[in-house]
Amino acid sequence: MANVGDRLCVHGHVVGEVDHEAEIIEVRGPDGTPPYVVRFTDGHESLVYPGPDAIIEHALSD
């Protein structure tokens, strides 16, 4: 489950492929479940249904 501000890291599928990181800017599923609207480091935004190769890094709260 995710919250706005968490980071989504999708691991590369093949050797040598880089991981992709994005900030979760909207959670559209109930109770923090996918789909998520994310903003990648290059600035583009996308609707994502993360697979088993993705992890959520929770943002630190104050």
- For every residue of 9-60, DSSP letters joined together read EE--SSTTPPPEEEEEEEE-SGGGPSPEEEEETTS-EEEE---TTEEEEPPP
Q: What is the DSSP letter of 4?
A: T
Distance CA 11, CA 40 (A): 14
Q: What is the rounded average pLDDT of the residues 4-32?
A: 91
The model's pTM? 0.85
Q: Would you say residue 13 has pLDDT above 80?
A: no
Distance CA 27, CA 50 (A): 12
Q: Would you say residue 62 has pLDDT above 60?
A: no
- Counting every residue, how long is the chain? 62
Report the percentage of the chain scoring pLDDT > 90: 69
